[in-house]
């Protein structure tokens, strides 16, 4: 008798597998929410980070900083995919999600720093941090289906 299932029969759900599915879904929601917020707040970000240029140019530069996060995703997949092969997927998953949270927090600190870093360093910092978030996004997102498939494979062995 298996005590780790809910229900009986062919449609019984393994509780461990259900936790993996819920964690994967929540992780995806949190990751895309970060990109959704940036895209939605692009006009505000353009005024905050690119105030030295006119409004249209600032908006385009804010969207280009957003695009930097998407442009470096393959590089992140190569770097952290290799790290996942060498150090383990769970470790790499924890590293990428922690670094992604740190980069997101640093964006807010750069925005809150006031006039101290205005000028060139303000938008450069935003672009670098956006690229960092983007580089960490793909390996972290790809780690979820692997964790899910491992959970399904472990469940089918029992």
pLDDT tens across 101-127, in order?
888 788 777 766 655 556 677 778 888
* Alpha-carbon gap, residue 122 to 73, rounded angstroms: 22
State the pLDDT at residue 11.
Answer: 58
Task: Dump pLDDT digits (tens) for 24-76.
Answer: 777 677 777 777 888 888 898 888 878 778 899 889 888 888 888 888 888 88
Assign 88 a pLDDT band (cuts: 50, 70, 90). Answer: confident
5: region left, alpha or beta (phi > 0 left; psi from -120 to 50 alpha): beta
Average pLDDT, the chain: 74
The pTM score is: 0.65
* Alpha-carbon gap, residue 113 to 32, rounded angstroms: 26
* 20: Cβ contacts below 8 Å, ≥ 6 apart: 147, 148, 151
Query: In this predicted model, which residue has the larger pLDDT, 147 or 14?
Result: 14
* 46: Cβ contacts below 8 Å, ≥ 6 apart: 55, 58, 59, 61, 62
- Report helix angle 73-87 to 121-157, nearest 10: 50
């Amino acid at each position: 008798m298996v005590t780790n299932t809910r229900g009986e029969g062919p449609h019984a759900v393994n509780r461990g597998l259900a936790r993996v599915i819920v964690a994967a879904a929540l992780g995806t929601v949190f990751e895309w929410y970060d990109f959704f917020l940036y895209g939605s707040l692009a006009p505000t970000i353009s005024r905050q980070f690119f105030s030295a240029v006119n409004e249209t140019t600032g908006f385009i530069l804010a969207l280009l900083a957003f695009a930097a996060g998407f442009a470096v995703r393959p590089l992140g997949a190569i770097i952290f995919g290799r790290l996942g092969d060498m150090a383990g997927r769970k470790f790499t998953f924890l590293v990428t999600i922690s670094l992604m949270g740190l980069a997101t927090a640093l964006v807010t600190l750069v925005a809150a720093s006031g006039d101290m870093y205005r000028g060139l360093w303000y938008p450069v910092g935003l672009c670098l941090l956006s690229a960092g978030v983007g580089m960490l996004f793909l390996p972290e997102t790809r780690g979820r289906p692997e964790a899910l498939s491992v959970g399904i494979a472990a469940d089918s062995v029992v």
